[in-house]
Amino acid sequence: MIQLEGISKRYKNGKLVTTAVDDVSLTINKGDIFGIIGHSGAGKSTLIRCVNLLERPTEGRVIVGGTDLTALKSGMLQDARKRIGMIFQHFNLLTTATVRANVAFPLELAKMPRAQIRTRVDELLKLVGLSEHGDKYPAQLSGGQKQRVGIARALANNPHVLLCDEATSALDPQTTSSILSLLLDINRQLGITILLITHEMNVIRSICNRVAVMDRGRVVETGDVLDVFLKP
């Protein structure tokens, strides 16, 4: 489903070059909940942003659903990106827009007719358990509710893949569990492949089937979660 082939990302600031990601190759299969774990600064955030080309890798290829995204021109890339949802640690909601308007936003960008948007937004709010909160503003919601809005927005265009950038790191343990169980439902019921990054082992243990461990830009271990973490 997602193939990362020889991905490197280097940042240049004057003469200083930081290698954030160093020759990473990974295969994420359809239906996986694939977790990437590592300490702060390991390169996880840079790597996950390379998957939808929020960051363009300095080297390497990103192949999603058989399409080499790194080879696409901007129009085609925008279309391909619509099928890759993403959620963030700090939710990245539009603070001046209601919950409904936040979820509708990607559908408006995709030029969906207004009546269809209304129906789709109802469906998405129901899926994430926010049917009663559509007219509220983000500031009126708890952290977990804000992340549910993020999830609804990310799923609006029926993505095949959901990228989660430290999606539960700003949440308390109980809220984290409820968001993780929603992600598990989304994976099981909608068949969406999930790639997440986290610095928390609990997240990997509770929902991932596959894991990669990153350290200083490189993947140092990869495999089934049970093999990598639970064997003596």
Cα–Cα separations (whole angstroms), residue 189 to 145, 168, 186, 223? 21, 21, 5, 24
Work out whether 220 is an interface residue with ligand ADP (CB under 6 A): no
Other Cβ atoms within 10 Å of 231 Cβ, number? 7
Site string for ligand ADP, 172-211 (x = CB under 6 A): ----------------------------------------
Q: Which residues contact 7 (CB under 8 A, 6 or more apart)?
A: 21, 23, 24, 25, 47, 50, 57, 59, 60, 61, 62
Work out whether 42 is an interface residue with ligand ADP (CB under 6 A): yes
Take residue 116 and report the two structure tokens written for it.
């269809």
Q: Tell me which amino acid residue 132 is.
A: E
| Nearer CB in complex with ligand ADP: 54/112 | 54
| Nearer CB in complex with ligand ADP: 11/221 | 11
Minimum Å distance from CB 9 to ligand ADP?
Answer: 8
Work out whether 89 is an interface residue with ligand ADP (CB under 6 A): yes
- Phi, psi of 39, deg, nearest 5: -70, 165
Single residue of 8, 46, 176, 198 touching ligand ADP by CB under 6 A? 46
Single residue of 40, 74, 174, 189 touching ligand ADP by CB under 6 A? 40
Take residue 119 and report the two structure tokens written for it.
């129906």
Single residue of 18, 78, 119, 131 touching ligand ADP by CB under 6 A? 18
Locate all alpha helices (DSSP H) within 156-213, ordered by sequence. 173-190, 201-207
Work out whether 138 is an interface residue with ligand ADP (CB under 6 A): no
Contacts with ligand ADP, residue ranges (CB under 6 A): 11, 18, 20, 38, 40-46, 89, 165-166
